[in-house]
Structure 1
Amino acid sequence: MAKIDVSISSLVNGSGKSELLFRVNVNRDIRLRVKSGIFVYPNRFKNGVIVLPRAEDGKGTRKEMLDASTTLSNLTVSIINFCETNKSITKDELVVYIDKYHNPEKYIQKDDKKEPLCEMFQRYVDGWLDTGVIGLGRKKHYDVVIRELTRFFIINGIDRCPVEDFNKERILKFRDFLRTEYTLVEKYPGLYVDMNNRNKPSKERSQNTIAEKLLLLQAFMVELESNDIIPVSPFRKIGKEKEAIMKQQYDEPVFLTKAEFNMLLTKECLESLQRVKDLFIVQCCFGCRVGDFRRFTFDNIGIEEGIPYIHYLPQKTHKDGLIRTEIKTPIIRIAYDIIMKYKGELSNNALLPYYPDGNGETGYNYQIKKLLEYCEINRKVAMFNTTLKLNEYKSIYEVASSKIARKTHVDLMNKVQVDKYAAGLHAKNSSAVNRYTNMGVRERFILMCAAFGDEEYRVDSELGIKR
């Protein structure tokens, strides 16, 4: 395979930047030295890579250097692919290729100018955000797919692929690329240089993850079809295979049973595990996503008829533009006692002493695993192994995370609620039932106390217990 060494010119232009130089070793007989067309500040190029400043430093902003680094990564991979298909390449041909990469409009006939698919995709997504069709959270998911699609095109030598050339076969190849991309990281390191280790593909993506990404791409193609940009979405031509590649499958839900939750409540813990025990119990009582849980302060507490409750806009669905109604969850006595235990001890009006993100030893998920293991909550649960195509059975503490708190809450609540269609007055899923009734904080509080086996209580305006 061709190899590229990068160095920097000693000449500095009027902006204080120098041009990067390429030494392209095509094979034993062909070694070419060419200008890259990429300019960087000399103090930002070390050991063959562009070093990003931690912040704006006045000598080459972070954005400038990030753009240059991304261009360097994409261009070097593109040149290597070009050399692999043109073993007898000359210096003049390589110079033209690099210039064409930087200035594609010079080489495209005006009557045949086509916008690359990824650029069009990004333009549509940005427009959807600006017009409120999607929220910021959903846009981030689209942006990730666009970056993955860009890497797919570069690695396959079809960079700047127009939408008209994106057909059924390329969708299926992109699906395989998503599944096995982790095997390409070492082969094409330049494409991943700006990604942190957490975001670099490190294992085979699951079928559910791939299906979610393909659904986003399909939504874009449907939009192009409805706007007459393309005659028909290529997804419509996949046929029977479509169901297989777009299907999402889930393991059986993993949650703590009522007996296991009570075991956790009553178990005396090591001092090192007391904080995670308190946090996990409260999250089980609230049933919220961990992203929302981490943000709670005393400003999120309201009081209605003497019943304290947490109110918040769920971060995930609110940012995706799917919901604008606040969630109101009563605070049962178990959670109240834990919250009041830490009141006054924390800065920034925080509700609880939250753990940082991540799965390291100081992370919340890691600590949850240790807590359940210590409490001997080790019931075996089935987890599907996508490689072996069969279920593996693991102790629940091995697979535990903050998600198990949400699932535990939902399961406990589900077991105490009467089926609202049980009277038989309306058909299953009838919207009329929801129009006729509204469960307030008081009704939810009664149900939650029943679900968790807790006693009802009331507070005053200062959150003190009423006697």
Structure 2
Amino acid sequence: MATITRSLSSKVNGNGESEIMLRLSVSRDLRLRLKSGIFVDPARFRDGKFIMPRADRKTLANLQTINDNLVSLESRLVSLCVNTPQNLLSKEFFEDAIMRHNHPELFETTPVSRSFFDTFNEYLATTQDGTKLSSHYRVLARLLERYEKYKKKSTRQNFTLKLEEFTGEVVDAFKQFVIDEPKIYERFPSIYKDVSEVVKTKRKPRKPEQRGHNAVIAIMKRLRAFFNWCVKRG
């Protein structure tokens, strides 16, 4: 079990504060002295503990905030020791963790916009690549793409499948599309002219055949498996 002891730097900054130093003992072979990035008035820190005033509420509140932050940082470091392979632990590793704790704003990133098919292809790559069912899921991807094109053609709107907008009504509409696709082919043959753009394939679309009840159920089960994966991934 990793242990941490505290000490105080002898240096004082322009605000009259000293930095709290941490001695992290991970194992016999890994003992590190780390800068916490957390500062305190030297008069309010002794033997690794904060000296809390009784009457000065403002100072007390400030010291309590510093103490809570320090405890949170120490808990984070210990958790990393437990959950990270020891060969990855180093001074640089913990310095980075401390920086991320003290300055999370420096590591915030703008979420990347992902399309429905970006997510579906990630599902294919992470769960179905090389499996016996992978080809069936690629069929599902092409079906979903044709459904999207069909909605654009039939509604004359810029319809796009979106993960967060795939409601029960959309599921029902897609299921009906799977059932009616041979008829839809007759009405909108242009949907079937191009090779699918959503999955890597050289296979050109062909006239769809009428699907039986079991085939439709199998397709919908695969769609449900995809959404279950999405829910688990948040």
Instruction: Pick the TM interval, shorter chain.
Output: 0.3 to 0.5
TM-score by length of 1: 0.23
Q: Would you tell me which structure has more helix in proportion to its own residues? A: 2
